[in-house]
Amino acid sequence: MHIYNTVYTAILNRLNTGFRSKHIQHNQLENTDKEKPILFPAVFVGISDLEWQEKGDHTQSADTVITFQIAVESISSNTANLYNLAQVVFSEFQNTEIGVNTSSRLQRIATRTNTDYDGLFICEIDFTCTITDTSLAPVFVKKNATNQVSVDL
């Protein structure tokens, strides 16, 4: 779906510090033996299922949870790096708008760590926000005083 790609792209483009690889989350860490090699530290971004609510005027919105799964190889010296990277994600996204298709600021709602992944140390951070889909809203074309055309979406 286009809206997922738009949100994922906006998020992954903002994660520029400290990660050797960035991915859309689709259970790679549960299937490392079947996946392409992953460079660590890595971040995986997942969006919960969306239950759309009609808002009128060809607009729908859905409350969602965006999960950042930060992974480092579990060597004791990487523990501090894991928490530094978690702080980078928190600082970048807490109380900010992604900029596309979100009508609310991201708010952190949970943080957890996990060491059950085949030699990896994981920190997961959940943020909540509302995603809005206006793709069916009418497009209005206007001409300004110089006869240039602008499009309002």
What CA–CA distance (Å, rounded) separates 83 from 102?
Answer: 27
What CA–CA distance (Å, rounded) separates 46 from 81?
Answer: 22
pTM as predicted: 0.81
* The pLDDT value given to residue 123: 94
Distance of CA 79 to the CA centre of its chain: 23
Instruction: Write the pLDDT tens digit of every residue in 91-143.
Output: 999 998 887 666 789 999 999 998 767 778 999 999 999 988 887 777 655 55
CA atoms lying within 13 Å on the CB side of residue 30: 4
Measured between alpha carbons, how far is residue 57 from residues 30, 38, 99 in Å? 42, 43, 21
Residues 93 and 85 sit within 8 Å (Cβ to Cβ): no
Find residue 37's DSSP bridge partners: none
Find residue 114's DSSP bridge partners: 122
What CA–CA distance (Å, rounded) separates 74 from 109?
Answer: 25
Q: Is 59 helix (H, G, I), strand (E, B) or coil?
A: strand
